[in-house]
Amino acid sequence: MISLTVAFAGPPVAGAIGNQFTAIAGAVGGSITGGAIGGIGGGTSGGTHAGGTGGGNHGTSGGTSGGGTTMKPGSGSTGSNTGTTGGGSSSGTVNPGSGSSGSQTTKPGQSGTNPGGSNTGSTGNTGTTGSGSSSSTTKPGSGSTGNTGSTGGNTGSTGSGNTSTRPSQPGANPTDGLENKDPKDWTLIDQKVVAEDISKNGTGSKYYPAAKKAMDEGTKWKTALLNGVTLEYKIIGINHDNLADGSGKAGLTFLTVSSGIDSLMNSTKSNAGGWKASDIRQKMNSGEIWELLPTVFRSQIKAVSKLSHNAAGDADNTADSITATTDKLFLLSYSEIVETPFSLWTDICPWVGKEGTQYEAFKGKVTDNNGANPVIAIDGNWYLRTVQITGKNGFVYVSYRGDPTSYGTGEIAMSIRPVFCF
């Protein structure tokens, strides 16, 4: 560091002194204050002062010192300043890193950038030009001591200014155009979306026409069970089953139409307690059959309320013997397949026609309530949840010919066709 002290007997010629200090001022940087030079102004200033390493903006000279240049170099790049002719309040415009004569305009602050990558903060305010007294961004001078400009003017803070947040880009809606998609190409999620919309809007759903078409044409979908077997299923009901939570109807009801799941109804030759107490119901709702379904598939299924004669076939044969169960997977009943139950059965057991109503897919297609129906002839015999009429041993099943009035003892293994709702 080089220190320099200068004394003058009278007002010097500013230009001469400025020339003498040109080289020194550039070398020593911050060791020469603007105040020392500001005090010697008053004549005709004309010298050139090489600024130190200055990055800030510099204030104006105050008081009665006219024409003097005040400069305290900052820490930016080296700059230079040429004083103008004194005589009252001088004016001048500062460049970054240089002193100014009399007044100055501060450098606008650096605009902040929103770290989120959206709108950019507005730039800092620009200081007003000083004349005589200092501008609002600098301290007033006093006597021979010059004003020190504030560094960088008003600098916009990072991420501030007038900012706005850029909205996240919306993802493509996976259901866009689903109403125009061929139902055979519906994914599991598509089926769920359709079901929930129909549950909410009924026949007014934009998906209703496609769902009904799929039901009428017997469109099938597949899922792989965890044992490697492929399960095929189709729609048999639209807004048919009551949701167990009482919130309305399940939009779609599906029937399994593939074979591959065989089971007993009960481990003993008995139908006591009906569907509610059966072994097969436990297997289908929390046991081995339920566990065959992939987790993502199980998560789409809605529990519904099902009506059944939950007693032995030879007990309590009245219409009032029907009770409800809550089921995720269930078997069809006889009255859910046929439009009108076999009269001989209803004469003996009035409850026969009370285990639910015929599903829409069977309307006009299951025409024989006591004989063969090709539409329900699905690869072998398959169990219903209806107990044997007047008997205590068995359950009703649909034969390989599609006859829904066959029945056998519950301990015989047959095909199981789970029904479920979305």
Helix-helix angle 208-217:188-201, to 10 degrees: 120
Please report the sign of the dihedral spanned by the C-alpha atoms of residue 199, residue 200, residue 204, residue 206.
Answer: negative
CA dihedral 268, 274, 278, 282 (to 10 degrees): 180
Domain assignment of residue 301, yes or no: yes
65-81 mean pLDDT:
36
Full-model pTM:
0.60
Residue 84 has pLDDT above 60, yes or no: no
Residue 159 has pLDDT above 50, yes or no: no
pLDDT bucket at 78, cuts 50 / 70 / 90: very low
pLDDT bucket at 35, cuts 50 / 70 / 90: very low
- What per-residue string of b and e applies to 328-349 under the rule 16 or more CB within 10 Å gives b? bbbbbbbbbbbeebbeebbeeb
Lowest mean pLDDT among 129-143, 297-311, 316-330, 356-370: 129-143
pLDDT bucket at 176, cuts 50 / 70 / 90: low
Domain assignment of residue 409, yes or no: yes
Residue 135 has pLDDT above 60, yes or no: no
Domain assignment of residue 133, yes or no: yes
Using a pLDDT cut of 70, give the percent of the chain over it. 58
Domain assignment of residue 173, yes or no: no
pLDDT digits (tens, 9 = 90+) for 178-231: 989 999 999 999 999 999 999 999 999 999 999 999 999 999 999 999 999 999
Top-confidence residue, 61 or 192: 192
The residue among 145, 166, 187 that closes a domain is 166
pLDDT digits (tens, 9 = 90+) for 203-213: 999 999 999 99
pLDDT bucket at 174, cuts 50 / 70 / 90: low
Q: Other CB atoms closer than 10 Å to residue 88's CB: what's the count?
A: 11
User: φ and ψ at 210, to 5 degrees?
Assistant: -70, -40
Same domain for 250 and 347, yes or no, is yes
Distance CA 36, CA 144 (A): 7
Distance CA 422, CA 396 (A): 26
Same domain for 139 and 211, yes or no, is no
Sequence-distant (≥ 6) Cβ neighbours of residue 93 within 8 angstroms: 100, 104, 105, 129
| Count of domains forming the chain | 2
CA distances (Å), 3 to each of 50, 216, 361, in order? Answer: 17, 102, 104
Domain assignment of residue 114, yes or no: yes
**Neighbour order of strands in the sheet with 262-263:** 262-263, 414-415, 382-387, 394-398, 406-409
Same domain for 31 and 100, yes or no, is yes
381-405 mean pLDDT:
95
Same domain for 99 and 191, yes or no, is no
User: φ and ψ at 308, to 5 degrees?
Assistant: -150, 160
Top-confidence residue, 34 or 379: 379
Same domain for 95 and 217, yes or no, is no
Q: In terms of residue numbers, what domain contains 314?
A: 178-422
Same domain for 30 and 155, yes or no, is yes
Residue in the structure block whose two tokens are 């059944």: 308
| DSSP annotation of 13 | P
Residue-level pLDDT at 151: 40
Distance CA 420, CA 422 (A): 7
Distance CA 195, CA 242 (A): 13
Same domain for 142 and 29, yes or no, is yes
Residue 47 has pLDDT above 70, yes or no: no
Same domain for 56 and 130, yes or no, is yes
Same domain for 141 and 191, yes or no, is no
What's the mean pLDDT when you consider all of the chain? 71
Residue-level pLDDT at 17: 30
Distance CA 201, CA 280 (A): 34
Structure tokens at 130: 């000083």
Structure tokens at 91: 């004016």
Same domain for 156 and 303, yes or no, is no
Residue 136 has pLDDT above 60, yes or no: no
Top-confidence residue, 317 or 147: 317
The residue among 100, 131, 166 that closes a domain is 166
Residue-level pLDDT at 316: 73
Domain assignment of residue 45, yes or no: yes
pLDDT digits (tens, 9 = 90+) for 224-276: 999 999 999 999 999 999 999 999 999 999 999 998 999 999 999 999 999 99
The residue among 166, 192, 215 that closes a domain is 166
Same domain for 182 and 161, yes or no, is no
Residue-level pLDDT at 205: 98
Same domain for 377 and 398, yes or no, is yes
Domain assignment of residue 172, yes or no: no
Residue 91 has pLDDT above 90, yes or no: no
> Which value, in Å, is the radius of gyration of the alpha carbons in the chain?
46
Distance CA 375, CA 383 (A): 16
Domain assignment of residue 25, yes or no: yes
